[in-house]
Amino acid sequence: MNIGIIGGGISGLKCAQVLNDHGLKVEILEARNRLGGRIRTHRDGIHGIPYDLGASWFHDTLTNELFDQVIAEKKDGKNHELVYDDGKPLYVTEDEGVLDYDYEKLEQVKAEACKYIELRYFENLNLIDVPLKDTVQSYLARQEGLLTEKQQLYVGQMLRDLELWHGVSWDEMSSKYALVDNVGRNCYNKSGYDQVIDSLRSSIPESSVLLECVVNRIERGGKKVKVHSNEGVKKYDFVIVTVPQSILQLGPNEEGSILWEPSLPELLKHSLEKIHFGFLGKFVFEFDQLYWDKSIPDRVISIATPGKELRSDAIPETWEFPVLFLNLHRMFGKPALLAFTQGNLTKHLESFPELAWNYFKPIWRKVCQKDIPDPVNVVGSNWSVDPFSRGSYSACLAGDDPTDPIIQLSKGLDNVRFAGEHTIFDGAGAAHGAWLSGQREANYVLRKLDLISKSDQDDDW
């Protein structure tokens, strides 16, 4: 029995680990020259600390099985450093500098606006989905005369921090699926997510991994699945496809695209038209010494200047988009910052990384309230320009339906299966969701081969 796994990210590696543990022969076909997929930890900085340019946190920590495993390993003595970096953030604006949001009661108004969105879409399931920006404007119109001038000015911009969750702009983002309801606190992985990748990798034979193997065609429908790549043609009894949703959505002849023979079912293809992809960027700035106040909290959020949004084809301006800074000195005791960017800004700065610090410098200068030095080292993500990712993870624009693609992809196509953060409800868009989906597909194969029993909870469609 021979199983092919297309993609060596966390879902593919988890799938391979489970199958290998049951004595099955697996082969991972990875297009890049490394494993990990959209998990990538940079360890070559000047301060000797890990910087995750992909997944950084364990989300949904009350129900996250991957997090539970890491905690169990930590109790057994493995060096997992974890921190809940969810202290009260500092907000900064272009006009006012550090914002006194407690005095202005902005958090209370933001919470009320979120409740308005929730009620609007969950009390009326047939309500037409519109961009988040439009729904915020509806809230402000409803509350006219009840909000202060600054509340009206800033609450919408504070809600734009959701752009740094979804990786898309609020004038495109689905209102219906905008709010983030985490099951438990978010825990930052100080040790680096490559520890998780290395742990999975260690249980898989080196001979089972083919790097720089770019799959371009899959022939399905028979007892064997034929997989064509730059390494030739291979035949497998089962194939688990773990490439990102963005790759499944590519047209023919685009780099990284896969030709399906026969074509994917219409229901599956149609479902992929109902979902989009987000672009979350990360930029690390290392300094030779600490120059900002030690009292600055672990998170700093710059609020976009109201009315500053430009044309979608214009060059982004500082203060046009929300930005999240992690003050890594609070975590590691080292003078470094990690900046997070949303869709349009991510695509711009990942294409022109040499412009990154000039974009962020005026913001951080407002935080420090003095002249500041330039960094001695800059590291940036490249997810939007990487042909094998083309972005970060699934995201919903107004009118999208994330449930249909998950249902269609998790059904699979007999001996062709799908895994990844875009194929699962629990942990969708997150590393642990991808990990769980890899485990799910491995269990599917094991049940088909009668190597494990089928429980009442299992659903093989």
- Matching residue, tokens 């930029």: 283
81 in Cβ contact with 190 (< 8 Å)? yes
Domain boundaries along the sequence of the chain: 2-38+193-274+401-448, 41-87+184-192+277-380, 100-166
Relative to beta strand 299-302, strand 90-93 is parallel
Question: Residues comprising the binding site for substrate?
Answer: 340
Question: What's the CA gap between 299 and 86, in Å, rounded?
Answer: 8
Query: What tokens appear for 286 in the block?
Result: 């290392």
**Separation of alpha carbons 392 and 143, rounded Å:** 36
Look at residue 218 and give its three-state secondary structure. strand
Among 54, 170, 154, CA closest to 117: 170
pLDDT, position 454: 80
Pairing of strands 336-341, 57-58: unpaired
Other Cβ atoms closer than 10 A to 303:
25
Bridge-partner residues for 332, per DSSP? none
CATH no. for 41-87+184-192+277-380: 3.90.660
Binding-site positions for FAD read 11, 30-31, 215
Is residue 262 reached through a cis peptide bond, with omega within 30 degrees of 0 on the bond before it?
A: yes
Q: For 252-351, where are the E strands, in sequence order?
A: 259-261, 276-278, 281-286, 299-302, 323-327, 336-341
**Shortest CA distance to 14 belongs to which of 437, 391, 448?**
437
**96: three-class secondary structure by DSSP:** coil
**What is the model's pLDDT at position 342?**
97
Residue ranges of the annotated binding site are 11, 30-31, 215, 340
CB of 391 closer than 8 Å to CB of 274 = no
Which letter does DSSP use for residue 131 in this model? B
Tell me whether residue 33 is exposed, middle or buried, using C-beta atoms within 10 angstroms of its C-beta: 0 to 12, 13 to 18, 19 or more: exposed
Question: Average model confidence (pLDDT) for the chain?
Answer: 95
Please give the Cα distance from 282 to 266 (Å, whole number).
36
**What pLDDT is attached to residue 125?**
81
* Cα–Cα dist 213/232, whole Å: 9
Q: What is the pLDDT of residue 456?
A: 47
| Gap between the Cα atoms of 275 and 241, Å rounded | 18
Contacts for 205 with CB less than 8 Å, ≥ 6 apart:
20
Given a contact cutoff of 8 angstroms between Cβ atoms, the answer to whether 248 and 421 are in contact is no
Rounded to 5 degrees, φ, ψ at 217 are -160, 140
- The CATH number for 2-38+193-274+401-448, chosen from 3.50.50.60, 3.40.50.10320, 3.20.20.10, 3.90.400.10, is 3.50.50.60
- What is the rounded CA–CA span in Å between residue 283 and residue 364? 13
Q: Which residues of the chain have pLDDT under 50?
A: 456-457
The helix (run of H) or strand (run of E) holding residue 417 is strand 416-418
What pLDDT shows up at residue 126?
Answer: 86
